[in-house]
Amino acid sequence: MYRLLRILEQFDPERASNTLSSDVIGCVVPRGRIVRGYVYAGVNKEIPPPSSATHSYHGLGPESRKTLPSSAKRSIAQYSPKPQRKNQTKSPAEYREQRRLKQERYRRKQTQREHDLAKVVKRLRQEVPLLQMQHMRMVFGVKLMLEAVVTEYFQLFRHGIWFSNMDTPCHLKAKAQQQLVFLRTAMSNDVILGGLKGVDALVEQWRRYCTYFDNVELNLGVVDIRSNIAWANATLSVTVTKTTLDQVFPHLLEGEQDKLILRSRLLGQLLVLPCRICFEWDEKSKRVVRLDKMLDFFTPLQHLLPCFDFVATVMEKALITLECIISDDGSD
């Protein structure tokens, strides 16, 4: 009470002296017990509970409180007791359920984040070949050189051509697109390949080699560049499989005894084939206009088979030419 009086005197001394008069003090009685809304101050005295009329003495009602300065209201609110929140205890089952829900939300967020990151990685991997194509155009478009094309060709096709479909991993798809971009950039659209022509024909020949043989590996040797022609000495390593006999040497599948011996000798053998590849360069278009290849099957077969007659029998009706062209019926 005295604290409130000091606060009121600080802001409005005249009103504070008139507000807390003896009439207000006279209404103050000792605290008693409360029974059914009545306060028992003595033995036979009953004082009704305070009402809105009780607080209207000398301007202390709700209307007079509105006229107090804002600083006085803040002081009263600062020193007035604050209601305490009732502690609500939870059962162990409720705590476990709450923790379970939090963990479930956390796992959902983590799963969604991993899913989003996987999408970003997939999109970036798909953009790699396009960026490499732009890089090649920037580099090759200004100073494309025959030596750089030869080196890049052997690096990209060292293990043959890569295939891509719906189930192919992203890194293999990127390699396949990189190979195709290189061929479209460095080779002429109607590049000559022996009896064939075009980039699509070159891709098809690589597809047949990688499908009919196993463990395809192309290794570059010495490169001899003269004017606009480059000769590259290399070796092509392949493993003979059942598909090789079906698609390249179908005449060995006949039931003769000699051919049965040849099939058993060839199946599963690793052949290291010497080859020479000629790159003809067009200075005006800055592209390769002719790609000739010569593949030597006779030398490794002579080391594998006992006599030259067997070598002649193997290569007599083989569906492959000296220019390394694998055909379907031997007519190419």
Domain regions of the chain by residue span: 188-316
pLDDT value of position 324: 83
* Rounded distance between C-alpha atoms, residue 75 and residue 92, angstroms: 43
Q: Residues 4-55: pLDDT tens digits?
A: 666 656 655 555 455 545 454 545 555 555 544 444 444 444 455 555 444 4
Instruction: Name the CATH topology of 188-316.
Output: Nuclear Transport Factor 2; Chain: A, (3.10.450)
Q: Residues 105-147: pLDDT tens digits?
A: 999 999 999 999 988 888 887 777 667 666 765 655 544 588 8
Q: Residues 145-165: pLDDT tens digits?
A: 888 889 989 999 999 998 877
pLDDT value of position 240: 95
What single string gives the DSSP state of each residue in 138-158?
HHHHHH--HHHHHHHHHHHTT
Q: Residues 188-220: pLDDT tens digits?
A: 989 999 889 999 999 999 999 999 999 999 999
Whole-number CA gyration radius for the chain: 48
pLDDT value of position 57: 42
pLDDT value of position 63: 52
* Rounded distance between C-alpha atoms, residue 273 and residue 291, angstroms: 18
Measured CA to CA in angstroms, residue 59 lies from 3, 77, 306 at distances of 18, 19, 129
For the sheet with 46-47, list strands across it: 33-35, 38-40, 46-47
Residues 31, 50 contacting (CB under 8 angstroms):
no
Beta bridge partners of 217: 237
Distance between start and end Cα atoms, the chain = 115
